[in-house]
Amino acid sequence: MKKITFDAHRQAHFAHFNGMANPHFGITAEVDITSFLGCVLRSPTLRFTPAMVYLISRAAMEVEAFRWRVRRCSGEDEGAVEVVEHGNLRPSFAVPTAASSAFSFCTVAYDEDPLAFHAAAEAMMERMKTEPSFEDEPGADDYLFLSTFPWATFTSITHAMPAGPDGDSVPRIVWGKYQQRGDKTTMPLAVQAHHAVVDGSDLGRYYQKMQQLLNKSEEIFELFLK
């Protein structure tokens, strides 16, 4: 983890949005999952959710601003804010449980190796069925908050946000029900981010990265298809 120092104009941009009552903004757009879904359907071991979480997290890792977090300083600089960059992220995604009708958080550290990540995610999803958790690590901000809404192909979404003046700067990403459009399968993907650290161009790059990864699904998940 390292501290980020902005140039004067970027610092003014940061201060402008960080001072707003609601500094978050979001976009919902369709992505083409034709290749990805084909891999899931052909493979006896590749599961939709851990594989999708892998791609969503990998795209976030590849866009620098998605690893930046706004923090309140302590000590001599108490009251000021700083921006830090994480070297790795932990996707925390909602999964069903056997213990209740309510979902559980399922947190797995990102691993560049899709086989390793998929195995870790499957194991944690299985554990959450009987040991559900609704707790985040106190003070941690290296998360990606992920969820799914598989009942509809939504066009927008809003999120419950933390109370208090500080909130958090963790991106929130939700995917919805996919549908057939001609010879393609598309899926809504909603991304919400803190505007003080993520700009519109960053969000645009995220969608571009995500689509590139979806298109390369056969290569990325090659070992699941053998």
For tokens 């009987």, the residue is: 130
For the cut 80, the answer to whether the pLDDT of residue 77 exceeds it is no
Please, what are the domains in the chain? 23-67+86-224 (3.30.559.10)
Which of the pair, 164 or 27, is modelled with greater confidence?
A: 27
Which helix (H) or strand (E) is 211 found in, with range? Answer: helix 200-215
The whole-angstrom separation of Cα 142 and Cα 169 is 10
Task: Give residue-wise pLDDT tens across range 21-69.
Answer: 889 999 999 999 999 999 999 999 999 999 999 999 999 999 999 999 9
Residue type at position 136: D
pLDDT band at 150 (very low <50, low <70, confident <90, very high): very high
| In the predicted structure, residue 78 carries a pLDDT above the cut 80 | no
**96 confidence band (pLDDT: 50, 70, 90):** confident
Interatomic CA distance for residues 177 and 191, integer angstroms: 15
3-state secondary structure of 97: coil
Residue 74 CB partners (closer than 8 Å, separation 6+): none
User: 107-131 in b/e burial notation, b at 16+ Cβ within 10 A?
Assistant: bbebbeebeebbebbeebbeebeee
Q: Which amino acid belongs to residue 117?
A: F
Q: What is the mean pLDDT of the chain?
A: 93
Edge-first strand order for the sheet with 81-85 is: 2-4, 81-85, 68-72
| Residue 57 C-alpha from the chain's centroid | 6
pLDDT tens digits, 165-214: 667 899 999 999 999 999 999 999 999 999 999 999 999 999 999 999 99
Question: Which residues are CB-contacts of 203 (< 8 A; sequence separation ≥ 6)?
Answer: 27, 191, 193
Q: How far apart are CA 165 and CA 80, in angstroms?
A: 13
Q: Output the pLDDT for position 76.
A: 63
pLDDT class for 97, splitting at 50, 70, 90? confident
Q: Are 117 and 108 in contact (CB under 8 A)?
A: yes
pLDDT value at 75 more than 70 = no
pLDDT score recorded for residue 166: 64
Q: Which residue has the tokens 């560049």?
A: 112
C-alpha span between 146 and 59 (Å, rounded):
13
Which pLDDT value is given to residue 189?
Answer: 98
Burial of 62 (C-beta count, 10 Å sphere; 0-12/13-18/19+): middle
pLDDT exceeds 90 at position 137: no
Would you place residue 164 in the very low, low, confident or very high pLDDT band (cuts 50, 70, 90)? low
